[in-house]
Structure 1
Amino acid sequence: MGSTKKGMFYVLIAAILWGSSGVCAQYIMEKSHIAAPWLTMVRLLSGGAVLLILSFFHGDKIFAIVKNRQDTLSLLFFSLFGALIVQLTFLVTIEKSNAATATVLQFLSPTIIVTWFALARKAKPTLAVTAAIATSLIGTLLLVTHGNMTSLSISTEALVWGIASAFSAALYSTYPSKLIARYGTLPIVGWSMFLAGLMLTPFYGNKGGDFVIDGNLVMAFMYLVMVGTALTFSLYLKGAQMIGGSRASILSCAEPLSSALLSVVLLGIAFTLPDWLGTLMIVSSVLLISLDSRKRVQAAA
């Protein structure tokens, strides 16, 4: 298998596994009665620790960032408003609706990013980007109304948390670029997750005693941390390095589709025709943005 095909395979598997991690989180919360904030705290602490260990054995200098005060403050900001908020809003959206809806709503983040940059630069968006924005908005309406514009098919809480998740994912994707360039991806993401978990500990550290636990739930949690966090992230990074960001973004569209399919098959979630149409339209908006970015790169070259 050539390097390009191998990279595409890595990214595709990572996207599918990421989709499965939301389904896994829903299963854990439903069966154990664990609240989303507590699960967020434990997942961040565990996932961050795993990524830092992987980073250390990879040869990264994981403590280098603490020598720079400004970068340390940037990391703390990213930990709070990036890692913590993006994980918390995502899991709360799952708690208020389901994994498929939460994943699709979070997938609005690329549209938010291109809209923000267009406004900030006072640049007229291209036809592809305009189409992507319109497609994502129509897809969201279909997803949350089932085509009936007079009522919501999900709770207002779920919609608000889902939109917040998309905005936080947009910040999470764009803010740490300078830190990652200086210190590497694994150290920054590992520290941000671990520190975010520590930030939640004073509020939820003593609120995890009233839940059901059994062997299946332990295995599900291990899957969420080891596969849904460490393995998927490593595969995506490796694949993205081999095929480039544009191709990786396109293949990552498998994430909401896998989440929707697994939610239907494993959790019995009822996904109606408007839900599927809305999901496909939001995925299409990401494809349009990715293709537009690729054309810009080729034109610049």
Structure 2
Amino acid sequence: MVQGSAAGKMDNGRVLLIPAVSDQKGRTSIMGAKRRACFFILLAAALWGVVGIFVRRLSAAGFSAMQIVAIRIAVPAIADTLFLLAADRSSLCVRLRDCYLFVLTGVCSFALFNWCYFNAIEASSLGVAAILLYTAPAIVNVLSVWVFRERLTLRKGIAVAATFLGCVLVTGVGAETRLSVRGIVFGLGSGVGYALYTVFSKLALKKYSSRTVTVYTFLFAAAAAIPLAGFDGKALALFAQPSVLLLSLGIGSLCCLFPYLFYAIGLSQIEAGTAAVMSMLEPVVAALLGIFLYQEAFDIRKAAGIVLIVAAVAAQRPRSEKQTSARS
């Protein structure tokens, strides 16, 4: 009789390897869950990448940058809360002592990085602000080693470096770019805030579902962002225009509610560092939209940046044990 954990029950003298089959199914199920998680992260990044379309049109309508941020946050906060009140009230139930988690995800990361980002744009340029924002994957990977005991592998390190270099190339920042201490401070603040969103969300997802984490993040972020937006009578009057309402719903749902929900779903299944790198597909989508919709310049530098980012993101795909052992 065969001994060990791989042996199952005897049937007419044959050994049925039931546990081994079960283990194989379990590994297959885990791989499937990780692949789905990666799909959700990439889908979130793609939706974040289209935000520029809505920002351009809302800006042309007369809204300031911070007002657009407030709209982007307030719309999903209201819509998702109303939906859950009607369809799934249990997702709104949280312990009072856990509210600090949503202060961290909503105020200390989500609202913070948006506020810092737009101040960085004003103090320097869009390109510099974007580059400093995309220091986030490096920060996430360093923090994840300490907070979640994740391994900072050579593959991850190379991927982080490749995505950062790719972002530099895609945004077109050069030696002539205007820099200032204020712009750099706010830019790094946006990168830290962006990174902290991934870390704090991962902590919150240990206690609550992705729906709960997402809706309370929006509510706390909206409470912080709306007072900073400076909505006056002129800005509020713009909402009387049907086009502005549609654009507000679009930026709130397509560029905030759905991508952050998808990101939370994916983040619950894969490492924070991996998720942060994969989310860097966002500038690729934004760059391609700029090229095809707004006839922005496309040169070899931008092409190289896109290739670098896509290659780094592709390298983060989950591998089976056979693939891992073959590479080691």
Asked if Structure 1 and Structure 2 have the same fold, meaning a TM-score greater than 0.5 normalized by the shorter chain, the answer is: yes
- 2:52 equivalent in structure 1: 22
Alignment root-mean-square deviation, CA: 4.3
> 1:64 maps to what in 2?
93
1:187 to 212, 218, 237: 212
Cα contact 2:117–2:187 (8 A) shared by 1: yes
Structure 1 residue corresponding to 2:162, chosen from 118, 135, 146: 135
2:297 is paired with a residue whose SS is coil
Q: Residues 106 and 57 of structure 1: is their aligned pair in 2 closer, same or farther, counting only changes over 3 Å? A: farther
Letter in 2 for 1:68: L
Give the residue type in structure 2 aligned to 1:48. Answer: A
Q: 1:192 to 1:125 in 2, by over 3 A?
A: closer
- 1:209 matched residue in structure 2: 234
The answer on whether the counterparts of 1:84 and 1:193 sit within 8 Å (CA) in structure 2 is: no
Contact 2:54 2:247 in 1 (8 A): yes
Identify, as 1 or 2, the structure richer in helix.
1
> Which residue number in structure 2 is paired with residue 167 of structure 1?
192
* Equivalent residue in structure 2 for 1:50, among 79, 97, 102: 79
Classify the secondary structure of the residue corresponding to 1:34. Answer: coil
How far the C-alpha of 1:81 sits from its partner, in A, is: 0.8
Q: Secondary structure at the match of 2:90?
A: coil
State whether residues 104 and 282 of structure 1, in contact with CA within 8 Å, keep that contact through their aligned partners in structure 2.
no
Distance 2:233 2:120 in 1: 20
Where relative contact order (Cα < 8 A, 6+ residues apart) is larger, the structure is: 1
Contact between 1:140 and 1:282, CA under 8 Å: does it hold in 2? yes
Query: Aligned partner of 1:52: which letter?
Result: T
Structure 1 residue 174 displacement after superposition: 1.0
Structure 2 CA distance for partners of 1:48 and 1:293, relative to 1, 3 Å:
farther
2:133 and 2:187 in contact (8 A); partners too: yes
The 8 Å contact of residues 135 and 282 in structure 1, kept in 2 or not, is answered as yes
Q: Is the 8 A contact 2:131 2:171 kept in 1?
A: no
Report the CA distance between 1:184 and its aligned residue: 1.7
Contact 2:214 2:264 in 1 (8 A): no
> Residues 2-13 of structure 1 correspond to what in structure 2 (within 5 A)?
12-13=42-43
CA contact (8 A) 1:108 1:136 kept: no
Shift of residue 177 of structure 1? 2.6
Structure 1 contact 107–282 (Cα < 8 Å) conserved: no
Distance 1:22 1:81, change over 3 A: farther
Secondary structure at 1:183 match in 2: coil
Say if 1:298 and 1:58 are closer, same or farther in 2 by CA, change over 3 A: farther
Provide the residue aligned with 1:178 in structure 2: 203
Return the alpha-carbon distance in structure 2 between the equivalents of residues 283 and 222 of structure 1.
30
Change (3 A) 1:272 1:255: same
Matched to 1:80, the amino acid is V
Change (3 A) 1:249 1:235: same
d(CA) in 2 for partners of 1:187, 1:123: 25
Q: What is the deviation of 1:84?
A: 0.8
1:270 aligns with 2:297: yes
CA distance in 1 between partners of 2:160 and 2:36 (Å): 32
Partner of 1:196: 221
- In the alignment, structure 1 segments of 5+ residues that lack a partner are none
TM-score scaled by structure 2?
A: 0.67
Tell me if structure 2 keeps the 8 A contact 1:118–1:125: yes
TM-score (norm 1): 0.72
User: Hey, what's the Cα distance between the residues in 1 that align with 2:237 and 2:304?
Assistant: 37
CA distance in structure 1 between the aligned counterparts of 2:42 and 2:166, rounded to whole angstroms: 23
Moved more, 125-134 or 247-256: 247-256
Q: Which amino acid aligns with 1:27?
A: R
Residue 196 to residue 234, structure 1, CA distance change in 2 (3 Å): closer
Deviations 1:113-143 (A, max 9, x none): 1134457899994322332343244335435
The Cα of 1:36 is off from its aligned counterpart by 1.6
| Contact 2:202–2:267 (Cα < 8 Å) also in 1 | no
Tell me, in whole angstroms, the C-alpha distance in 2 between the residues paired with 1:283 and 1:212: 42
Q: 2:254 aligns with which of 203, 227, 243?
A: 227
Pairs aligned (count): 287
Q: Structure 2 unaligned segments of length 5 or more: list them.
A: 1-31
Cα distance in 2 for partners of 1:121, 1:77 equals 17
Answer yes or no: is the 8 Å Cα contact 1:40–1:197 preserved in 2: no
